[in-house]
Amino acid sequence: MFWNHDIECMPKEELKRLQYGSIKNLVTELYSSNAFYRHKMDSVNVGPDDIRSLSDVSKLPFMTKQEFRDNYPTKMFSVPNTDIVRYHVSSGTTGKPTLVGYTRNDLEYWTEALARSLSSIGVGEDDTLQVSYGYGLFTGGLGLHYGAERVGASVLPASTGSTERQLELMQDLDVTVIACTPSYFIHMIDVAKEMGIDFLRDTKLRKAVLGAEPWSEGMRKRIEESSGVRAYDIYGTSELAGPMFTECEERDGIHICGDIAYMEAIDPESGEVLEPGEKGELVVTMLKKEAFPLVRYRIRDLSAVCDEVCACGRSSPRISRISGRSDDMLIVRGINVFPSQIEYALMQVPQVGNQYMIQVTRDGALDNMVVQVEIRPESFSDKVEDMILLRSHIESELKKYLNLAVHVELKAPGELPRFDGKASRVKDKRSL
Ligand code: DLL
């Protein structure tokens, strides 16, 4: 199902011409009207005249999150306050928050992107969509809300928390689609089980639009097996606007609307642009943003850009599942470890449940990593020998994938924390 067929299926060359034209105009405009961008471009001796093709975009300097923080709250805005119609705030993990402002057009393109994305997974006017992302400063709730209204779905603005009530409403209103973080949906599956609710038998829920945090293919498989609901990945960041882009029915990468955003993947060390299909750090240029323009913003998320036309017919570039952030990488005893690798390894062990926590401590000069894992109720045993065997099996799986000895602690079902928004599974206590 297409929301905007002409743009979504535009021939590749035409799309590239359109992207080049938009970036050239954007850079020319910013150079003449915005001191921040002019100064940045001057610092690398690049002016609008140097951008003569799409590949010349790589000459432009990167923007970083630190610059947003340094210019908090509105010093980087490109429009007067009177043109701002909304703010959102992303708290992040460290330092000052990032404040994002939107003009009316910015909200319009955000909504358009989500309307295309939701249509591509078959969400439309026959659907009732429960938005269980937080409403408020976080972009998830309001973003999905407006996108779902645009495609004509009935929207239930449930926000987070009160899970039993959410499940009752889901039944009462024949909700067909839910949008929330994967960790919240996992929690919902557990609560539904306790309440005796079987999603396929007792609800009309068939689709889940899950994102805002990294989650693995293994986790998708488990979510689908335990709920019977088809799960789709949705991606975005508050700097882009909020949640924006999803997989289509093919589920072979997340489509990035090419007339709205231009994505590159770079080598995190050298900053060089990578070939299509090579994994690196994502860099985004937003082609239509007004309040808060983004030119070559280093998002820090790790992924690859694929430029082939998708089997669904859309020509927009796709990004592969985000495997983590370059700044999420833990260095444990000199070995680089991404939390996503730990999730990947854990999902290979059928006895392991869906909840885990990672703790890193330092004992003298030595780093220690402890992974706490909940065991599935049917695999939990009172027999100490069974549990010891299971624990060493999980430790050897982790060792195989991480090349690092990790200590595993087994936890009973329900013992580890649950999350209704973004999960926070890593506790690095070394710097405390
Ligand atoms: O999380 C926007 C959003 C809301 C996306 C709802 C999807 C659904 P921020 O709070 O600014 O915005 O956080 C953005 O979250 O840079 C990624 O590190 C992570 N992230 C978002 N979506 C995914 C995903 C929202 N599908 C940061 N897979 C991003 C992996 C994701 N990580």
How many other C-beta atoms can be found within 10 angstroms of the C-beta atom of residue 182? 25
Counting Cα atoms < 13 Å in the Cβ hemisphere of 232 gives 27
User: Is the beta carbon of 234 within 6 A of some atom in ligand 1?
Assistant: yes
Task: Ligand 1 pocket test: pick from 133, 237, 328 the residue with the most ligand atoms within 8 Å of its Cβ.
Answer: 237
- Give the residue, by CA position, lying nearest to ligand 1 atom 27: 237
Protein residue closest via CA to atom 15 of ligand 1 = 212
Contact 4, 117 (CB under 8 A): no
Q: Are residues 347 and 317 in the same domain?
A: no
Residue 377 and residue 233 share a domain? no
Q: Identify the residue whose C-alpha is closest to ligand 1 atom 31.
A: 213
Is the shortest distance between the CB of 301 and ligand 1 below 6 Å? Answer: yes
Rounded to whole angstroms, how far apart are CA atoms 206 and 227?
A: 9
Residues 127 and 223 reside in one and the same domain: yes
Q: Which two structure tokens, joined as six digits, stand for 85?
A: 């119609």
Task: Kindly tell me the burial class for residue 263, based on how many C-beta atoms sit within 10 Å of its own C-beta (0-12, 13-18, 19 or more).
Answer: buried
Its pTM surpasses 0.85? yes
Domain, as residue range, for 393? 330-428
Q: Which amino acid is at 89?
A: V
- Rounded Cα distance between 210 and 29, Å, is 36
Atom in ligand 1 nearest the alpha carbon of residue 300: 16
Question: Same structural domain for residues 149 and 287?
Answer: yes
Using an 8 Å Cβ cutoff, are 19 and 54 in contact?
yes
Token look-up 């909840």 returns: 355
Is the Cβ atom of 258 under 6 angstroms away from ligand 1?
no
Report the distance separating Cα 226 and Cα 136, nearest Å: 30
Separation of CA 21 and ligand 1 centre (Å): 28
Residue 214 CB–ligand 1 contact under 6 Å: yes
Q: Whose CA is nearest to atom 1 of ligand 1?
A: 212
User: Do residue 416 and residue 375 come from a single domain?
Assistant: yes
Task: Tell me which residue has its CA closest to atom 6 in ligand 1.
Answer: 140
**Same structural domain, 322 and 336:** no
| Amino acid in position 227 | S
Q: Where among 271, 301, 326 does a domain terminate?
A: 326
Q: How far apart are CA 48 and CA 61, in angstroms?
A: 12
Cβ neighbourhood burial of 76 (10 Å; 0-12, 13-18, 19+) = buried
325 lines ligand 1 (CB under 6 A): yes
Alpha-carbon gap, residue 383 to 376, rounded angstroms: 15
Res 33: pLDDT: 94
The rounded distance, in Å, linking the Cα atoms of 156 and 161 is: 14
CATH of the domain at 373: 3.30.300.30
Extended beta strands in 314-365, E state: 318-319, 330-332, 335-337, 352-363
Which SS3 state, helix, strand or coil, does residue 181 take?
coil
Total Cβ atoms within 10 A of residue 259? 19
Tell me, yes or no, whether 298 and 348 share the same domain: no
Query: For the domain that residue 93 is a member of, what is the CATH number?
Result: 3.40.50.12780
Question: Are residues 296 and 171 located together in one domain of the fold?
Answer: yes
Count of helices and strands (H, E) across the chain:
12, 19
Q: Specify whether 291 is located in the same domain as 264.
A: yes
Per-residue pLDDT 10s for the chain (432 aa) are 899 999 999 999 999 999 999 999 999 999 999 999 999 999 999 999 999 999 999 999 999 999 998 999 999 999 999 999 999 998 765 567 889 999 999 999 999 999 999 999 999 999 999 999 999 999 999 999 999 999 999 999 999 999 999 999 999 999 999 999 999 999 999 999 999 999 999 999 999 999 999 999 999 999 999 999 999 999 999 999 999 999 999 999 999 999 999 999 999 999 999 999 999 999 999 999 999 999 999 999 999 999 999 999 999 999 999 999 998 999 999 999 999 999 999 999 999 999 999 999 998 888 999 999 999 999 999 899 999 999 999 999 999 999 999 999 999 999 999 999 999 999 999 976
pLDDT value of position 17:
98
User: Are 302 and 357 part of one and the same domain?
Assistant: no
- For residue 197, CA distances in Å to 161, 168, 263 come to 18, 10, 42
Which mutation among 88, 89, 235, 344 tests ligand 1's pocket best, with the greatest number of atoms within 8 A of CB? Answer: 235
Backbone angles phi, psi at 222, to 5 degrees: -65, -45
Instruction: Please tell me if the CB atom of residue 238 comes closer than 6 angstroms to any atom of ligand 1.
Output: yes
Number of domains in the chain: 2
Is the Cβ atom of 243 under 6 angstroms away from ligand 1?
A: yes
Peptide bond before residue 73 is cis, with ω within 30 degrees of 0: yes
Separation of alpha carbons 240 and 65, rounded Å? 12
Q: Write down which residue in 326, 358, 388 finishes a domain.
A: 326
Residue nearest to atom 16 of ligand 1 (CA): 237
Tokens (6 digits) for 365: 């000069």
Contacts of 214 (CB under 8 A, 6+ apart): 322, 323, 324, 325, 328, 339, 340, 343
Same domain assignment for residues 128 and 180 = yes
Examine the fold and report which residue of 326, 348, 377 is the final residue of a domain before the chain moves on. 326
311 and 338 within one domain: no
